[in-house]
Amino acid sequence: MPDLSVFPITRRWPAQNPERLQLYSWPTPNGVKVSIALEELGLPYEPHAVNIGQNETWGPEFLSLNPNGKIPAIIDPDGPGGQPLALFESGAILVYLAEKTGKLIPADAAGRYETLQWVFFQMAALGPMFGQVGFFHKFAGRDYEDKRPLQRYVAESKRLLGVLDNRLEGRDWIMGGQYTIADISMLGWVRNLIGFYEAGELVEFASFKNVAAWLERGLARPAVQRGLRIPSKD
């Protein structure tokens, strides 16, 4: 039985099944990337709800695993060389899980790098811009008298949706016929933009037909439906 006691985070969120991959997360667009991937891959894992609304990521236990204080993070008791591996940053975790299993990423080098560029596109552009739209449209930023920040982020989000829409022209998935971690990285963010953030009309989402069809395909996947609810907030 793996001994995970060397990881301080297990004092706050004890592992009931230490032989399983441990997921520390919350069902946000970043958090569900990993739960969706784990559901798609069928890997045994134990989810732990880290309530970001109660600032649980800023406690010493969570910070011992991710000094940046953000979900998600994992501990894989069966990491490289059979040794436990702790990881944070959702993009890095997606790449790790794909390479660990040989799934959700093309086997050829060129396809692998092409997939990674779209994962990084999400990490560097899509997520941060959509998040700013959410802040300035739905949360505290909506009360700012100066509307230029909102206008800037809306314009950039529309541009990014256009990039994604062009990529999906004639493709079911970002990599064509193969569903990959590139799709997983973006599904939760696009869903959030038009759902939780209520910004569909603001970014003229209906005009991005390819993105809308891709989102519908993605959300219809059983593993995606399960992953969007993990960890449970209850």
145: domain range?
109-224
Query: Which residues contact residue 160 at a Cβ distance below 8 angstroms, ignoring those fewer than 6 apart?
Result: 125, 126, 129
**What confidence tens digit (pLDDT) does each residue in 151-180 have?**
999 999 999 999 999 999 999 999 999 999
Is the pTM higher than 0.95?
yes
Q: Is residue 234 part of a domain?
A: no
Q: Is residue 52 part of a domain?
A: yes
CATH (domain of 189): 1.20.1050.10
Same domain, 116 and 215: yes
Same domain, 77 and 126: no
d(CA 169, CA 153): 24
User: Taking the alpha carbons of 10, 15, 19, 23 in that order, is the dihedral positive or negative?
Assistant: negative
| C-alpha distances out from residue 232 to 28, 57, 67, Å | 11, 16, 24
Same domain, 93 and 21: yes
Q: What is the pLDDT of residue 176?
A: 97
Q: Is residue 82 part of a domain?
A: yes
Same domain, 187 and 87: no
Q: What is the pLDDT of residue 143?
A: 92
Q: What is the pLDDT of residue 2?
A: 83
Domain tally, the chain:
2
| H or E, element range at 215 | helix 209-219
Q: What is the pLDDT of residue 218?
A: 98
Q: What is the pLDDT of residue 191?
A: 98
Q: What is the pLDDT of residue 3?
A: 86
Same domain, 171 and 70: no
Stretches where the chain sits below pLDDT 50 are none
Last residue of a domain, one of 77, 103, 129: 103
- One-character DSSP codes across 97-109: HHHHHT-SS-SSH
Q: With pLDDT > 90 as the criterion, what percentage of the chain qualifies?
A: 97
Q: Is residue 19 part of a domain?
A: yes
